[in-house]
Amino acid sequence: MAAMLQPQIILLKEGTDTAQGKAQVISNINACTTVADAVRSTLGPRGMDKLIHDDKGNTTISNDGATIMKLLDIVHPAAKILVDIAKSQDSEVGDGTTTVVLLAGEFLKEGKPFIEDGVHSQNLIRSYRTASRLAINKIKELAVSIEGKSLEEKKTLLAKCAATTLSSKLIGGEKEFFASMVVDAVLAIGDDDRLNLIGIKKVPGGNMRDSFLVNGVAFKKTFSYAGFEQQPKKFVKPKILLLNIELELKSEKENAEIRLSDPSQYQSIVDAEWNIIYDKLDKCVQSGAKIVLSRLAIGDLATQYFADRDIFCAGRVTEEDLQRVAAATGGTVQTSVNNVIDEVLGSCEVFEERQVGNERFNIFSGCPSGQTATIVLRGGADQFIDEAERSLHDAIMIVRRAVKNSTVVAGGGAIDMEISRYLRQHARTIAGKSQLFINSYAKALEVIPRQLCDNAGFDATDVLNKLRQKHASGEGANYGVDINTGGIADSFANFVWEPSVVKINAINAATEAACLILSVDETVKNPKIH
């Protein structure tokens, strides 16, 4: 009776939605499993692509976990965490985005029965963290270094790595062609960390094989005014002036307010404007540059002026392209044309405006600092080229990681099987419930080879049994799914490699995400304020 008289305590605003306890954990797990199911079929070389179209009518075809997750527009708060780890995997290492989502989903799925049985999340979390630490140490132990090889050898090895990444993509059919292009591009930029030094330019039409690599910078011809046709389109060893100013007549007039009392004064203002622009143009010419690029507009007057003096110009060059030209040619972008000294001018071996498909391209090759490369991608539909670009991005990231960390592990589920075996073995040495938890973690890792089989139409149970046996025998650590025959094969010998950092990051991120979701037992949704 006393309890009934107690006033109800209202802590949160009316309309607040809360969900708590075990039921909440389970519901979050279910949401994450659904998300993992959405990307499941894209894993591996035989993975399928997804066609996503949004309410604006844009369609995207992709195999890339991060891209799909981004486009799925997931609203469930817990499932959003998976979107975030896919994104972070994409930005940290560039590949393994499907893997990370699948692993997280599987860790949760394996943990679900325990939660249902009343195991406290924290116990599960503790064991998962231990398992993850052990797994990562094992990967580091198994990783093989490609350091200390000759450049040629290294190139072949890196190309193999890139080919593995590309094999699961739409352009997989031409993986060797693109893999060597990617390796050349990455080696061209050397140690520089800035990814944007490798540009990818898309030109719809033509054949994939018409794609080519420029050892330098290339960008689509910018909008140009009359007079442009008279400018020379090819230079050998030109000096290049990079600007961030407008070379247009109208600019002065629009930047100022002028009050006149006598109409005759107007002429002097107009004259002054002409003088200002001619003065600027003169200074550009005097600098000795044969090519003038500006981030801002270069108007018709300037275009004609430069044409008369055999100078090439391009206005409205994008910031990114301009920066890449600066990095490649050794020039510095100027914000004024006063005192343009020789040091700020860039140079290159050959500048050329060339026709690619039905676009014209400005191409700077043989650049002194050599730290840029541009891949000009050709191919049919827009969606196709877009996906090809994303695939190349993955491959570029992989090669860069491999160059930097230079250790690789066997792919095709081999490394996953091996860690799984190792963890099961380890679990046997520990007593108590955590043995079960670590076993579940180990089982979850098998999702990678299983999914590779499923997606290729193989009998996953059969292949997994063979793999378990092989790994248990103690000498099959590198055995993974053979995507060509439906059996098992030494992935390492078949050059199905993955940089170890991809796996380490994926396991780390997936475990953290799973633990995070397991540790949330209450969701509070504030009412909308109207």
Binding site for ligand ADP (CB under 6 A): 42-45, 47, 63, 65, 95-99, 164, 167-168, 411-413, 448, 452, 481, 483, 496, 498
Q: Is 407 a catalytic residue?
A: no
46/421 with CB nearer Mg ion: 46
Six-digit token string for 323: 């920066």
Task: Copy the structure tokens of residue 102.
Answer: 């699948």
Chain-centroid distance, C-alpha 510: 18
Question: Residue 5 — left, alpha, or beta (φ > 0 → left; ψ -120 to 50 → alpha)?
Answer: alpha
Compute the distance between CA of residue 495 and CA of residue 484 in angstroms, rounded to an integer: 13
The runs of H, that is alpha helices, within 346-432 are 382-405, 414-428
Q: Which stretch binds Mg ion (CB under 5 A): 158-166, 245-253, 289-297, 299-307?
A: 158-166
The answer to whether 372 is a known catalytic residue is: no
Note whether 95 binds Mg ion by CB under 5 A: yes
Give 205 or 486: the residue with its C-beta nearer to ligand ADP. Answer: 486
CB 202 within 8 A of CB 389: yes
- DSSP 8-state secondary structure symbol assigned to residue 416: H
- From the CB of 470, what's the least distance to ligand ADP, in Å? 15
Check binding of 90 to Mg ion (CB under 5 A).
no
Catalytic-labelled residue, pool 33, 49, 64, 99:
64
Q: Which does 44 bind (CB under 5 to 8 A by kind): ligand ADP, Mg ion, none?
A: ligand ADP
CB of residue 209 to Mg ion, shortest distance in Å: 22
Closest approach, Cβ 416 to ligand ADP, in A, equals 7
Pairing outcome for strands 373-379 and 407-410: unpaired
199 vs 499, beta carbon nearer ligand ADP = 499
Which residue lies nearer to ligand ADP by CB, 85 or 115? 85
- Using the rule CB under 5 A, give the single segment among 162-170, 200-208, 241-249, 511-519 that binds Mg ion: 162-170
130 flagged as catalytic: no
Contact 50, 42 (CB under 8 A): yes
Least distance (Å) between residue 169 CB and ligand ADP: 7
Q: Write down the catalytic residue from 98, 165, 303, 329.
A: 98
Strands, sheet with 234-236, edge to edge from the N-terminal-most edge strand: 216-220, 359-365, 350-356, 234-236
The answer to whether residues 495 and 101 touch, using CB atoms and an 8 Å cutoff, is no
Residue 33 has φ and ψ, to the nearest 5°, of -65, -40
Task: Please say which residue, 47 or 331, places its beta carbon nearer to ligand ADP.
Answer: 47
Distance CA 88, CA 506 (A): 10
* Shortest separation between residue 448's beta carbon and Mg ion, angstroms: 12
Q: Catalytic site residue 17? A: no
Cα 108 to Cα 115: distance, rounded to the nearest angstrom: 10
Site for Mg ion, rule CB under 5 A: 95, 165
Active-site residues: which are they? 64, 97-98, 394
